[in-house]
Amino acid sequence: MSALELRDVVVDYEGRGGRVRAVAGATVSVEAGRIVGLVGESGCGKSTLARAAVGLVPAASGTIAFEGREVRPLTRRARPADLVRLQLVFQNPYSSLNPRRTAGSQVGDGIRSRARSARVRELFEIVGLASAAASRYPHEFSGGQRQRIAIARALAADPSVIVLDEPLASLDASAQAQFANLLTSLARELGVGMLLISHDLAIVRHVADEVSVMYLGRIVERAETLPLWTQPAHPYSEALIAAVPRPDGEGVLPHSLPGEVPDPTNPPSGCRFHPRCPYAFERCRVEDPALVPLAGGRSAACWLQQQDAPPANLGQARGVK
């Protein structure tokens, strides 16, 4: 059993243009010590799914379970005892830190033992900050350091899973790389499972053990990170990978992902990706492919992969060398 399991989760909200299905049936699970990346363009529903995972927004249907117990929408500010070990870290930690309290006192909020100050110092060191920094105020830290404080505060609850919503988005490249290394070591050394939400596939590639790719409210591919990166099974995954800049300056293929993300209040018929897909054929416009298991333990929602003789890879199917 996975520590965090989301099955067929649907999340709706009332937008200006009417009811929006932000998440249209997503299944994701996170095991101890594993980092699961959830990637997609902004507006694809990944942050909404993260919030539903920790009970901050209600699911219209589907199930969300943490350590075998159903996660219900939170009705109070305080997290119920059985959800304390499921923590959420936001994109901008400054907004969730009280500017008038020292960083150490805020990290210590969740610690009940008498050895609290020793534990706070230890947590500062675990996240790569000097223990003496516990007496400083949030504005005295850089963005990357504040994000480490947010992780230390989450670790104070002895979590088995941390959901991180775009934790790297506000950091510069060097702070991103250091923070990514921290996440990897926390997963390996403390056995914490992580659901890492990011629009940045380049970072997720270096950190995550497996990746789920989300498009317009749906998971369209799920795979271990390396196979996804080297041989994506879904055209949308391929396009996201093609758009990641390479160190040699190559790699941004503007033609690979034409058009805008469609209006989620009125998603396209058939496969939701078909108006932007270079491989689309007639069936794609009328029938919606389900996410189905493929060889090698991966899953994809694409008719191309569900033909009698699926192509070895997408590039070959398109004649791209």
Binding status of residue 274 toward ligand SF4 by CB under 6 A: yes
Binding status of residue 261 toward ligand SF4 by CB under 6 A: no
- How far is Cα 115 from Cα 65, in angstroms, rounded to an integer? 32
Instruction: Considering the complex, state which of residue 87 and residue 212 has its C-beta at the smaller distance from ligand SF4.
Output: 212
- 4-15: strand order across its sheet: 18-30, 4-15, 61-66, 69-70
Among 71, 120, 277, 291, binds ligand SF4 (CB under 6 A): 277
Least distance to ligand SF4, CB of residue 53, Å: 26
Binding status of residue 190 toward ligand SF4 by CB under 6 A: no
Task: Check if the beta carbon of residue 33 is closer than 8 Å to that of residue 3.
Answer: no
Token output for 39: 């990637």
Q: In 3D, which of 34, 1, 24, 18 has the Cα closest to residue 162?
A: 34
Least distance to ligand SF4, CB of residue 235, Å: 4
Binding status of residue 298 toward ligand SF4 by CB under 6 A: no
Q: 221-250 mask for ligand SF4 (x: CB under 6 A)?
A: -------------xx---------------
Question: What DSSP string runs through 202-225?
Answer: HHHHHH-SEEEEEETTEEEEEEEH
Q: In 3D, which of 138, 52, 156 has the Cα closest to residue 97?
A: 138
CA 68, 69, 73, 76 torsion-angle sign:
negative
Among 280, 310, 311, 315, binds ligand SF4 (CB under 6 A): 280
- How far is Cα 127 from Cα 146, in angstroms, rounded to an integer? 11
Instruction: Considering the complex, state which of residue 148 and residue 234 has its C-beta at the smaller distance from ligand SF4.
Output: 234
Listed ranges 123-131, 179-187, 256-264, 266-274: which one lies at the site for ligand SF4 (CB under 6 A): 266-274
Residues forming the site for ligand SF4 (CB under 6 A): 234-235, 271, 273-274, 277, 279-280, 284, 289, 302-304
